[in-house]
Amino acid sequence: MVTQHFVGNKPVEAFPPEAIRKIPDDVLTRRELNRLSKGADKEPGANKRAGVASRDPAEFDTKRHGG
């Protein structure tokens, strides 16, 4: 089975390191506070949810933990 990786709409052989690194929660929180302080009208918490969504889903599988 062949697997193709994309960054945006461009195919790549492997993901660049900055695309797969975990962003610490405190950094996500600071970015969110900065975004909201500028009067952003987007839904609060969007940065943190996006950061978590980019991580390994198996780490957040609640079915395995009885949830």
Side chain identity at residue 36, one-letter code:
L
DSSP per residue, 12-53:
ESS--HHHHSPPPHHHHHHHHHHHHHTT--SPTTHHHHHHHH
Q: Is the pTM of this model over 0.75?
A: no
Rounded distance between C-alpha atoms, residue 1 and residue 15, angstroms:
18
**pLDDT, tens digit, 9 for 90 and up, residues 9-31:** 888 888 778 777 888 888 888 88
Interval 48-60: pLDDT, tens: 666 666 666 666 5
Other C-beta atoms lying within 10 Å of the C-beta of residue 40: 13
- Residue 21 token pair: 């690194």
